[in-house]
Amino acid sequence: MSSSPKTPESSNSGAVGEKIIASSGAVELPMLTRTNYHEWSLVMQVSLEALGLWKVVETDKVERHDDRMALAAILRGVPSELKAVLAVKATAKEAWAAVKTMRVGEDRVKNASKQRLTKEFENLRWKDGESVDDFAVRVNTLVAGLRELGEEIKDGRIVRKVLRVVPRKWKQVAVLIEMLLDLDTMKMEELIGRLCVMEDADVEDAKENEVGVERAGQL
């Protein structure tokens, strides 16, 4: 059974896809995520320039073939949930603008969340009676949230923050740690381990004092 002849439109569409796929081997087509729009747009612009297609996104009067080439490249750099939305745009320029509108709106929400979590991190204080493990959970939760939003927060910054807010009874030990150890290479886990040792020692001292008081009362 002979195959049905290809229409010029389907042939052009296939050629567009083949050219983009072939070009992507040498030209990077970045993948858009919820948090990387600014980086994505910069790299995608360079990629379109390398393909000779950036002018399509900047101007209105372009050849249909070039417009489809640019749109195909954009579609290859967005997640599946956006492909159907962008594929029906009249031009690659409209699709590019739509991506910006959607992601910049998300960026505003992301930046607001980042500011809120950053403020919470800076205002972190040890609660009365809070254990080392419970405090560590609060710190790690905030840090994980900030990193998920794209904030670069190194372990050294976290370690210094924790040392600044330790309970008064551990202040001298915190000063010694700052003086004797390299905080830039210290991991949060190492610091928490040291604080847990001090916490356990405090518990043992409290038990011994309690036993001593009981014995004194029996005399």
pLDDT at 8 over 90: no
Same domain, 60 and 128: no
Contact 166, 138 (CB under 8 A): no
The alpha carbon of 61 is separated from its chain's Cα centroid by a whole number of angstroms, namely 38
Evaluate whether residue 64 is within a structural domain.
yes
Residues 99 and 133 in one domain: no
Single pTM value for the model: 0.53
Same structural domain, 102 and 135: no
At position 14, the amino acid (one-letter code) is G
With respect to residue 43, please indicate whether it lies within any of the assigned structural domains. Answer: yes
**Does residue 115 lie within any of the structural domains?**
no
Summarised one tens digit per residue, pLDDT across range 67-88 is 999 999 999 999 999 999 999 9
Same domain, residue pair 86 and 149: no
pLDDT, residue 212, reads: 52
Count of structural domains, the chain? 2
Answer whether residue 144 is part of any domain: yes
> Residue 183's domain spans which residues?
124-218
- Whether 57 is covered by a domain: the verdict is yes
Residue 175 lies in a domain: yes
Q: For residue range 12-64, list pLDDT tens digits in order.
A: 444 444 455 444 456 778 999 987 888 899 899 999 999 999 999 988 888 99
Residue 39 inside a domain? The answer is yes
pLDDT digits (tens, 9 = 90+) for 110-161: 888 899 999 999 999 999 989 999 999 999 999 998 987 888 899 999 999 9
Q: Are 188 and 155 in contact (CB under 8 A)?
A: yes
In a domain, 45, yes or no: yes
